[in-house]
């Protein structure tokens, strides 16, 4: 069967620095995978490259999404094809209220006011929507706002960069359930969406059932395995053991 | 006449001596060209305004039905064509032509040509020598008026000089919200608008003043404004310019004379076609604990030239605080923008004065962020630019918001 995502020997540089050094990676439709790896390994750069941010310059290699070569497509085109991204550190958009963005996204994607209400309620974010996007948002508020936007966007393939960083235990559950809902994993008959999730703590694994884990080191994917086993190994020995695989 | 002959002749002779005195800033306008007299009849209500005139009034923020206004004043060329005060508020405030107020009130002498000088330049002189109305508003002590007063100064005739003198008095402990618009309902008219404005906010009073300007390509504008603030007085000034103008130059003086007085200026300026725009404010912090803030958001499109100024002048020896925040975007390769913040401390050893001025394109990062949500580039640019210009000014009708969007869509092409 054709893969949903296929990345072939991807080399990417940012501001002249080589951040991806030959990534080979693929995911099937509806797969949920997690990405581990030490700080600065290039995980975020990988996601930004998949989304098509021009700052992340592809020097070599190809990205295929749903069988189509998207390497030269811009961010908008990729999002229209069904890729979405929850940012590790989203930018502030001054003067534009989150509410305004919510209205625009729900209009664009045919989501009813009632549906929006439920999402706002579930993510406990209603009280912040009059504020400018991400302006002074706390770590947890920012992540909830990111997931909220994805829930209105309903991408087929979701890139989620550290959904639990800066989020307290209670809110991790909330964010976790929301992601699960977004991926359609909480209902038998919902359409299944695929996801790639970056996590350091693995807390998200308590809420989202991941099929496979990958370890990213020094600009490359070096191994894969059962995500829980990998997490336990990393917790015990850090990434030292990975040097062996490499 | 309540104003003494002595005082009047003093004003006239000061003005006469200054009638050729060029202004320090802005291109010099030959006033000899604008000598026509254009008088118009009164209207019964705002909905009986001529269609074009009404549209001009609406564009400058007028509420034609007057549902959410406590009173109205409309001047067309050299005539006052409409005045109204909701019955409900007649014990709270007064609104009328300044000419009438000068005839009527003894106290007016203390407010007439006091903080704007008749001999400042040829424009103030022209108004002193040849005035035609302008509005007078006064809120009585401790009165809080529910809805804003609205005033509109319109021009629909060629080659006139509209010389208005506006006076607002907010008595002790009172508060008032004013929305004013100046509009041209004849798009190709040549002419000039000269507006003298003297605003007084007494102890503990509060005035929020919002002005929307809609001029056009061949029209010059020279407002001359001063504001006098007593102890605990508050003044908020919102200014919006979204249409072309031949030239406009204005720098209101704000005198914070009483302790704890506070002033805030919000300017939203969009330079279109070959507009020459020179706007700023000068705030004088003369008393302890005074606070002043000036925020400007400017966009220079087409071939426009914009000067965005702001002067904070601390004079008190006690603590005071002032901040300037002026940010600009140049949308066109043929446009020019100057951001000129100035901080002055005259022996104000305890003053905190600061500014942040910047000119730069809209953030690529923000555009890409929105694009990743499935919003196309043009819409993303428009949303961000609208956000940039959004200073949360209350009582701005929704269509002005939409208008902003249209202008952005039409002029932001070179932005990225
Ligand atoms: N804009 C940039 N300019 C310069 N270097 C950059 C830029 N963006 C990323 N880098 C560098 O690229 C490397 C990879 O960064 P990236 O953010 O992809 O790592 P990461 O694996 O997501 O790390 P973390 O777990 O800390 O989030 C780092 O060394 C980082 O400093
Ligand atoms: Mg990262």
Per residue in B238-262, pLDDT (tens digit) is 999 999 999 999 999 999 999 999 9
Mean pLDDT of B223-232: 98
Query: CB within 8 A of B66, min separation 6: which ones?
Result: B46, B72, B84, B86, B150
- In the predicted structure, residue A244 carries a pLDDT above the cut 60: no
CB B320 within 8 A of CB B288: yes
In B, minimum Cα distance to A146 occurs at: B373
Name the phi and psi angles at B69, rounded to 5: -135, 145
How many angstroms separate the CA atoms of B341 and B311, rounded? 6
User: Which has more confidence, B319 or B4?
Assistant: B319
Residues of B in contact with A76 (CB under 8 A): 371-372, 374-377
User: Which has more confidence, B392 or B133?
Assistant: B133
Per residue in B299-315, pLDDT (tens digit) is 999 999 999 999 999 99
Q: Give strand pairing partners of B193.
A: B162, B221
Closest-CA residue to B192 (of B340, B372, B28, B357)? B28
Model confidence at B410, in pLDDT bands (50, 70, 90)?
A: confident
What's the CA-to-centroid distance between B367 and ligand 2, angstroms? 21
User: Which has more confidence, B42 or B263?
Assistant: B263
Q: Among the listed ranges A23-32, B40-49, B239-248, which one has the minimum average pLDDT value? A: B40-49
How many angstroms separate the CA atoms of B273 and B247, rounded? 11
Percentages (nearest 5) of helix, strand, coil residues in chain B = 20, 40, 40
pLDDT at residue A155 in the model:
95
How many angstroms separate the CA atoms of B216 and B59, rounded? 13
Which residue has the CA at smallest separation from atom 8 of ligand 1? A14
- In the predicted structure, residue B415 carries a pLDDT above the cut 70: no
Q: Would you list the domain boundaries of chain B?
A: 5-360, 361-416
A91–B363 CB contact, under 8 Å: yes
B387–A93 CB contact, under 8 Å: yes
Q: Decide whether any atom of ligand 1 lies within 6 Å of the A219 Cβ.
A: no
Residues of A in contact with B368 (CB under 8 A): 53-54, 75
- In the predicted structure, residue B89 carries a pLDDT above the cut 70: yes
pLDDT at residue B76 in the model:
94
- In the predicted structure, residue B396 carries a pLDDT above the cut 80: no
- Index of the ligand 1 atom closest to the CA of residue A48: 18
Which residue has the CA at smallest separation from atom 25 of ligand 1? A39
Q: Decide whether any atom of ligand 1 lies within 6 Å of the A191 Cβ.
A: no
pLDDT at residue B1 in the model:
61
How many angstroms separate the CA atoms of B89 and B70, rounded? 7
Q: Is A110 on the interface with B (CB under 8 A)?
A: no
- In the predicted structure, residue A1 carries a pLDDT above the cut 60: no
In B, minimum Cα distance to A134 occurs at: B366
- Side-by-side strand order, sheet with A220-225: A83-86, A157-161, A194-198, A32-36, A212-217, A220-225
Question: Coil, helix or strand for B115?
Answer: coil
Kind of pairing between the strands at B320-330 and B351-359 = parallel
What's the CA-to-centroid distance between A47 and ligand 2, angstroms? 9
Q: Decide whether any atom of ligand 1 lies within 6 Å of the A17 Cβ.
A: yes
Q: What would the two tokens of residue B364 be? A: 């690529």
The interface residues of chain B toward chain A in range 370-389, judged by CB-CB distance below 8 A, are 370-377, 379, 383-384, 386-389
Q: Is B9 on the interface with A (CB under 8 A)?
A: no
As a residue count, chain A comes to 246
Q: What would the two tokens of residue A27 be? A: 């995911």
Per residue in A98-118, pLDDT (tens digit) is 999 999 999 999 999 999 999
Closest-CA residue to B19 (of B6, B7, B31, B34)? B31
Burial tier of A124 (Cβ tally within 10 Å: 0-12, 13-18, 19+): middle
How many angstroms separate the CA atoms of B165 and B178, rounded? 16
Interface test with B, best of A76, A84, A92, A130 (most B CBs within 10 A): A76
pLDDT at residue B38 in the model:
87
- Side-by-side strand order, sheet with B351-359: B79-85, B71-76, B149-155, B175-184, B206-214, B234-241, B262-271, B291-300, B320-330, B351-359
Provide the mean pLDDT of chain B: 94
How many angstroms separate the CA atoms of B384 and B386, rounded? 5
A75–B371 CB contact, under 8 Å: yes
A104–B375 CB contact, under 8 Å: yes
How many angstroms separate the CA atoms of B129 and B379, rounded? 51
Residues of A in contact with B377 (CB under 8 A): 76
E strand segments, B98-231: 135-139, 149-155, 160-170, 175-184, 191-201, 206-214, 219-229
Phi-psi region of B46 (alpha: psi -120 to 50; beta: other; left: phi over 0): alpha
pLDDT at residue A243 in the model:
62
Helix residue ranges, H only, B152-263:
none
Ligand nearest to the CA of A88: 2
Residues of B in contact with A73 (CB under 8 A): none
Nearest to A79 among B363, B373, B390 (CB): B373
In B, minimum Cα distance to A148 occurs at: B373
pLDDT at residue A192 in the model:
76
- Index of the ligand 1 atom closest to the CA of residue A162: 27
In B, minimum Cα distance to A91 occurs at: B366
B373–A109 CB contact, under 8 Å: no
- In the predicted structure, residue A178 carries a pLDDT above the cut 70: yes
Chain A closest-CA separation from residue B275 CA (Å): 26
Residues of A in contact with B416 (CB under 8 A): none
- In the predicted structure, residue B144 carries a pLDDT above the cut 80: yes
Q: Give strand pairing partners of B75.
A: B80, B153
Q: Is A149 on the interface with B (CB under 8 A)?
A: yes
Sign of CA dihedral A50, A53, B381, A198: positive
Ligand nearest to the CA of A36: 1
In A, minimum Cα distance to B387 occurs at: A95
Query: CB within 8 A of B3, min separation 6: which ones?
Result: B102, B108, B109, B112
- In the predicted structure, residue B404 carries a pLDDT above the cut 80: no
**Most ligand 1 atoms within 8 A of CB, residue of A42, A46, A221 to mutate:** A42
Q: Which pTM value belongs to this model?
A: 0.89
Ligand nearest to the CA of A46: 1
Chain A closest-CA separation from residue B410 CA (Å): 20
How many angstroms separate the CA atoms of B243 and B308, rounded? 16
Mean pLDDT of B205-209: 97
Nearest to A76 among B377, B384, B388 (CB): B377
Mean pLDDT of A123-128: 94
Q: What whole-number percentage of chain B has pLDDT above 90? A: 81
pLDDT at residue A245 in the model:
63
B383–A104 CB contact, under 8 Å: yes
């Amino acid at each position: 069967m054709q893969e949903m995502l296929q990345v072939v020997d991807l080399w990417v540089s940012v501001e002249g620095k080589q951040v991806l050094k030959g990534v080979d990676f693929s995911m099937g439709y509806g797969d949920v995978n997690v990405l581990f790896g030490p700080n600065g390994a290039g995980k975020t750069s990988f996601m930004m490259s998949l989304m098509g941010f021009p700052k992340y310059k592809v020097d070599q290699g190809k990205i295929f999404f749903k069988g189509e070569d998207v390497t030269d497509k811009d961010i908008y085109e990729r999002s229209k094809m069904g890729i979405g991204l929850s940012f590790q550190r989203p930018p502030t958009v001054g003067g534009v209220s989150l509410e305004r963005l919510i209205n625009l996204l729900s209009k664009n994607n045919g989501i009813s006011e009632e549906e929006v209400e439920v999402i706002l309620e579930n993510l406990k974010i209603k009280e912040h929507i009059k504020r400018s996007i991400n302006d002074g948002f706390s770590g947890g508020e920012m992540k909830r706002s990111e997931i909220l936007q994805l829930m209105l966007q309903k991408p087929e393939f979701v890139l989620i960069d550290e959904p639990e960083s800066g989020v307290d235990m209670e809110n991790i559950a909330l964010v976790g359930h929301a992601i699960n809902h977004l991926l359609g994993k909480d209902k038998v008959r919902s359409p299944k969406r695929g996801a790639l999730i970056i996590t350091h703590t693995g807390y998200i694994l308590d809420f989202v059932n991941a099929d496979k884990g990958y370890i990213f080191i020094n600009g490359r994917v070096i191994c894969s395995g059962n995500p829980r086993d990998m997490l336990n190994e990393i917790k015990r020995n850090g990434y030292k053991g990975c040097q062996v695989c490499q | 006449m309540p104003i003494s002959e002595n005082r009047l002749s003093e004003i006239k002779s000061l003005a006469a001596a200054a009638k050729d005195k060029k202004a320090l800033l802005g291109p010099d306008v030959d006033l000899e060209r604008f000598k026509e007299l254009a008088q118009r009849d009164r209207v019964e209500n705002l909905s009986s305004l001529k269609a074009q005139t009404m549209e001009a009034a609406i564009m400058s923020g007028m509420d034609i039905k007057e549902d959410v206004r406590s009173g109205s004043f409309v001047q067309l060329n050299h005539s006052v064509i409409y005045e109204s005060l909701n019955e409900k508020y007649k014990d709270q405030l007064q609104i009328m032509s300044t000419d009438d107020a000068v005839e009527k009130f003894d106290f007016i002498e203390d407010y007439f040509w006091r903080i704007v000088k008749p001999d400042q330049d040829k424009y103030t002189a022209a108004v002193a020598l040849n005035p035609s109305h302008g509005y007078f508003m006064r809120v009585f002590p401790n009165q809080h008026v529910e809805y804003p007063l609205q005033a509109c100064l319109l021009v629909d005739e060629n080659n006139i000089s509209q010389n208005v003198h506006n006076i607002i008095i907010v008595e002790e402990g009172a508060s008032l919200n004013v929305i004013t618009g100046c509009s041209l309902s004849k798009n190709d008219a040549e002419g000039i608008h000269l507006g003298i404005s003297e605003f007084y906010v007494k102890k503990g009073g509060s005035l929020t003043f919002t002005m929307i300007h809609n001029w056009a390509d061949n029209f010059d504008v020279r407002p001359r404004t001063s504001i006098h603030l007593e102890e605990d007085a508050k003044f908020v000034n919102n200014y919006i310019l979204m249409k072309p103008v031949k030239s406009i130059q204005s720098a209101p003086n704000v005198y914070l004379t009483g302790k704890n007085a506070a002033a805030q200026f919000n300017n939203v300026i969009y330079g279109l076609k070959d507009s020459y725009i020179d706007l700023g404010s000068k705030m004088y912090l003369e008393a302890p604990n005074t606070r002043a803030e000036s925020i400007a958001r400017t966009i220079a499109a087409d071939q426009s030239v914009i000067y965005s100024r702001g002067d904070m002048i601390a004079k008190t020896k006690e603590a005071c605080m002032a901040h300037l925040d002026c940010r600009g975007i140049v949308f066109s390769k043929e446009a020019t923008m100057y951001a000129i913040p100035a901080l002055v401390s005259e022996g104000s050893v305890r003053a905190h004065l600061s500014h942040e001025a910047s000119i730069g394109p809209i953030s690529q990062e923000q555009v890409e962020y929105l694009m990743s949500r499935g919003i196309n580039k043009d819409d993303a640019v428009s949303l961000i630019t609208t956000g940039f210009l959004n200073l949360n000014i209350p009582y701005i009708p929704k269509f002005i918001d939409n208008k902003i969007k249209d202008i952005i869509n039409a002029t932001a092409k070179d932005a990225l």
